[in-house]
Structure 1
Amino acid sequence: MSNPVVIIGTGLAGLATANQLVKTHNVPIVLIDKAASIGGNSIKASSGINGAHTTIQEQQQIVDSPELFLKDTVKSAKGKGSEPLMDKLSKDSHLAIEWLQSEFDLKLDLLAQLGGHSVPRTHRSSGKLPPGFEIVSTLSKYLKDLAETKPELVKIQLDSKVTDVNIDGERNVTGVQYQDKEGNKHTIATSYVVFCSGGFGFSKDMLKRYAPDLIDLPTTNGSQTTGDGQNILEKLGADMIDMDQVQVHPTGLVDPTDRSAGWKFLGAEALRGLGGILLNPSTGKRFVNELTTRDIVTAAIQSQCPKDDNRAYLVMGQGIYEVLKNNLDFYMFKKLIKKVSLEDAIKEYNLPITAEEFAKDLTTYSTADKDAFDRPLVTKNFGDSIKTSTEIFIGEVTPVVHFTMGGAKINTDSEVVNKEGKPLAKGLYAAGEVSGGVHGANRLGGSSLLECVVFGRTAGNSIANSIKC
């Protein structure tokens, strides 16, 4: 093979594809991105990566299986998406975790149960780094080192926006067109291209086209998330599936000094997964199972909490701080979360309950045999003796545009397909948020990083097998 594989996007999908091609198959690659740095939205992922029937689960005596994970995923998808892709996601999930552990020495030794999951299966490492940052930085370092020592094998090209893919009359990929930051146009000759360019959650134009009711919501997406890959693939004739399925995450953190900001830090789902609760500002009471799927929690905030500012309070105890110290320290540094006593929380957040009532509610939540909202019981995190002086961590949250489930439909080999379900062109692949069919109407927390690894590695293996043929 004389020409390199071109991988568009440097989030985890692109990094997984690149590492699989280079590390396992010794296939040369060009990693290209319009941004000035590597990582995309993946670098900000804060809860972890899913895996079913993993060694870590077995060590912690958690019974899980790909079948149970598939059941949860299909239920969350609400009849949309592609079940064969969901089946592959769940069956390959433990392989993705093992690959990260064995090939890159990532621990991924802690577990959380996020919304919509039947058991704890979202893995992250014990240590100081958030999971997205840890995984992305580890995988990108390997490629950066190779780009220095073996430039014939790895080339990383940033500040370069892909504008088109060349396909000949026999439907073979022949090249990728891009524009550098000075506006100069170039073409890279290649027989294989993998789109890993992310979603479109930052683009008001795309949201107006596919989900106009969400256009006024803030977003967690970086400014690079504008659907460039979807637009190119649609023009080429890809089957664009579930493009109107845009996930609104219930817990974007509100900055009290800039409440109307259009961009929000995400309050990691692990905060709720490990025991955090949501309070209605107008009652000071819980109002939803915080561990149901994101769409249901979002709908509860939007229908039950004050409509003027579309917000709720996220409340956590010391036990969560001990597990997610780095997350909470960062949120407190940014003044998005405060540590206060129950008495002070009542005053500062104008909750319409007494401190004694607040303490009683938290005690009931922490000790009841059955939760009032049928939430799976989790480890106590507010302490054994909750008093009005007990300190909690509290912040305002609001629903935010977070993830676009739709995109160019792929098959289980990560090939982009046309409206007839056939490969759109020989050598054309996609992985990650640019693709569609993996999540249906609602994505489970922890499955975005997983999707990137599973289908990025699949694209790499499919290309390597095609080259050998």
Structure 2
Amino acid sequence: MKKEGLSRRDALKFGALGAGLAVFGASNAMAAAPLEKEVKFDEEYDVIVIGTGFAGLAAAAKAAERGLSVLVVEKMGRIGGNSVINGGGMAVPNMPLQKKHGIEDSNERFIEDCLKAGLGINHVELLETIAARATEALEFSIKCGAKWQDVKPAWFGGHSVARTIVTENMSGSGVIQPMVEFVEKLPGCKIYRRTKFDDFVLNAEGRVVGVTVRTNYRFDSKLLSDDLENTAGEKKAYKAKRGVVLASGGFGADKMYRKLQDPRITDDADTTNHSGATAGALLKAFQIGALPVQVDWIQFGPWASPDERGFGVAPLMTQQGLFKHGIAVDVRNGKRFMNELADRKTRADAEFKILRASPEAYPVAIGTYNTFGEQLYPLIDKALQTKVMQKFDTLDQVAAAYKIPAAALKESVAKFNEGVKKGIDEFGKPVATFNGVGIEAKGPYYCVRLAPKPHHTMGGVKINTKAEVISGNTHKPIPGLFAAGEVTGGTHGASRLGTVAVTDCLVFGMIAGENV
């Protein structure tokens, strides 16, 4: 019997589907993307962008500025995904604001910091691209209407210098909202909300030439991974003459897929992500051959609290407040247990070590009013009103409230303050830069309980420095498919350095919009 070769469509069914496709079961994993000849397109554009976060909007803006017609599709009713709820910090090496405040930095130093946080498994060429265009991305956000604080750059955990600029409203919405207005005013550019991407459309040569979607869609977070059982909406097909930009974000809220990657993440584990942060679009990219990279590395936010849902206000109060000039203690013994300004993985691992031994022994971050800094003062009342942060007059009251050994707690505070005075910290925190600012002995004391939450999914599709998605079949770009932001993998390695996500998303969003 003559042995026949596989057709292009059969090859798509059986080849390079990506490790993650197995979660859907054999029948769904083998379902190939629709072919152009099988689809009747309802609308036609030069470019289609999937997702309305930093990366998606930057790609749309750049493509539309080139005179291309652009459609951005967003499955949720709200614009912005995780971008709109993040803390609004953007790491920018060598920016003018650093020079204004006498801060010495370099691209090489930035990359070294990222590699240290990422355990050295980062794809360096992507970091080099981010560093080279970070200032340009900041300027582009300003062009789109974003407003940033004109103060000394913030020093976030894991960075070796202060290089983070923060939006005026201390939220990613300070970038997303003006970018939405900017994009929607550009000729030929529009955004469809509640429009769920379902699949890519390929031509006979394997080029991505469009997408299938469902309009009037209603996301239901109570269902399985990526709302698979939800059949709501009207099926449509949109053609993309130049290409498609995948900017669908990460899968931190996808209970099934994140648990597949890390079985320790229980279904009831809270996340900082919005409910629509699921893996569906990522898996569709794997299905057409996109190369998966480091998908099982999931970052936990060490500054989150069990006393509020989602991202909340705790990360703002801890990252640049209690973690900087205050301390975190193990409630079981009253002692410090980590460098509160280390990279996220180091801190989260230290907190998990305590919680896995004693699940209810949530560590506590402690500081005083002077530890917050002027930009955080307006948020103190909000944090107290929501009860995610508590206020106490004395350390004895702190100890009683959290069942901490009082003498040990007082000793930890005194030891930390002494280290601040000497400029030397037992855990390596850069206290020499604090100008003597530590925990005030007179109080009052502000406290936040800590519990790491899934925050950023490190892995995704492999892209090159042109934001082209690389095929696992050919190791060459998949024609017509670009990607940017958290849906991509390799950039951040094992753990992303804090505030580099905004930079990553804007830079590669811009690049995708330029090259599509």
TM-score normalised by L of structure 1: 0.89
Deviation digits for residues 57-107 of structure 1, max 9, x if unmatched?
000110001111011112222232311111111222222223223553523
Equivalent residue letter for 2:137: A
Mapped to 1, the partners of 2:474 and 2:120 lie a distance apart of 18
Counting matched residue pairs gives 447
Please point out which of 398, 401, 406 is paired with 1:353: 406
Q: Residue in 2 aligned with 1:279?
A: 329
Q: Is the 8 A contact 1:405 1:433 kept in 2?
A: yes
Mapped to 2, the partners of 1:334 and 1:118 lie a distance apart of 33
Mapped to 1, the partners of 2:460 and 2:379 lie a distance apart of 31
Q: Residue in 2 aligned with 1:467?
A: none
Mapped to 2, the partners of 1:383 and 1:205 lie a distance apart of 43
Q: Residues 373 and 419 of structure 1: is their aligned pair in 2 closer, same or farther, counting only changes over 3 Å?
A: same
Q: Which moved more, 1:327-336 or 1:26-35?
A: 327-336
Q: Residue in 2 aligned with 1:394?
A: 447
Q: Residue in 1 aligned with 2:122?
A: 81
Deviation at 1:325, TM superposition (A): 2.4
Q: Is the 8 A contact 2:90 2:500 kept in 1?
A: yes
User: Is 1:52 aligned with 2:102?
Assistant: no
**Root mean square deviation, CA, Å:** 2.2
Q: Is the 8 A contact 1:315 1:392 kept in 2?
A: yes
Equivalent residue of 2:469, what SS?
A: coil
Equivalent residue letter for 2:423: D
Which structure 1 segments of 5+ residues have no match?
A: 464-469
Deviation at 1:283, TM superposition (A): 1.8
Equivalent residue of 1:30, what SS?
A: strand
Please point out which of 466, 477, 484 is paired with 1:431: 484
Deviation digits for residues 191-240 of structure 1, max 9, x if unmatched?
31111111111111101221112235421111100112211101111001
Q: Residue in 1 aligned with 2:75?
A: 34
Please point out which of 457, 461, 464 is paired with 2:514: 461
Mapped to 2, the partners of 1:395 and 1:273 lie a distance apart of 10
Q: Residues 380 and 254 of structure 1: is their aligned pair in 2 closer, same or farther, counting only changes over 3 Å?
A: farther
Structure having the higher Rg: 2
TM-score normalised by L of structure 2: 0.81
Q: Residues 179 and 398 of structure 1: is their aligned pair in 2 closer, same or farther, counting only changes over 3 Å?
A: same
User: Is 1:246 aligned with 2:301?
Assistant: no
User: Is 1:143 aligned with 2:183?
Assistant: yes
User: Is 1:338 aligned with 2:390?
Assistant: yes
Deviation at 1:348, TM superposition (A): 2.0
Q: Which moved more, 1:81-90 or 1:454-463?
A: 81-90
Q: Residue in 1 aligned with 2:221?
A: none
Please point out which of 193, 196, 207 is paired with 1:172: 207
Deviation at 1:166, TM superposition (A): 0.6
Mapped to 2, the partners of 1:202 and 1:99 lie a distance apart of 30
Equivalent residue letter for 2:512: A
User: Is 1:368 aligned with 2:368?
Assistant: no
Mapped to 2, the partners of 1:134 and 1:331 lie a distance apart of 20
Please point out which of 195, 219, 223 is paired with 2:275: 223
Mapped to 2, the partners of 1:291 and 1:187 lie a distance apart of 48
Q: Is the 8 A contact 1:114 1:272 kept in 2?
A: no
Deviation at 1:342, TM superposition (A): 2.7
Q: Is the 8 A contact 1:101 1:108 kept in 2?
A: no
Please point out which of 290, 298, 302 is paired with 2:340: 290
Which structure 2 segments of 5+ residues have no match?
A: 1-43, 218-231
Q: Residue in 1 aligned with 2:261?
A: 210
Q: Residues 416 and 250 of structure 1: is their aligned pair in 2 closer, same or farther, counting only changes over 3 Å?
A: same
Equivalent residue letter for 1:410: I
Deviation digits for residues 113-133 of structure 1, max 9, x if unmatched?
1121110111114x4x12412
Q: Residues 421 and 93 of structure 1: is their aligned pair in 2 closer, same or farther, counting only changes over 3 Å?
A: farther
Mapped to 2, the partners of 1:145 and 1:338 lie a distance apart of 45
Q: Residues 282 and 380 of structure 1: is their aligned pair in 2 closer, same or farther, counting only changes over 3 Å?
A: farther
Deviation at 1:273, TM superposition (A): 5.9
Mapped to 2, the partners of 1:381 and 1:10 lie a distance apart of 43
Q: Which moved more, 1:164-173 or 1:302-311?
A: 302-311
Q: Which moved more, 1:245-254 or 1:447-456?
A: 245-254
Deviation digits for residues 20-68 of structure 1, max 9, x if unmatched?
222x323221111110011100111115001000000000110001111
Q: Is the 8 A contact 1:12 1:39 kept in 2?
A: yes
Please point out which of 94, 102, 110 is paired with 1:69: 110
Q: Which moved more, 1:318-327 or 1:352-361?
A: 352-361
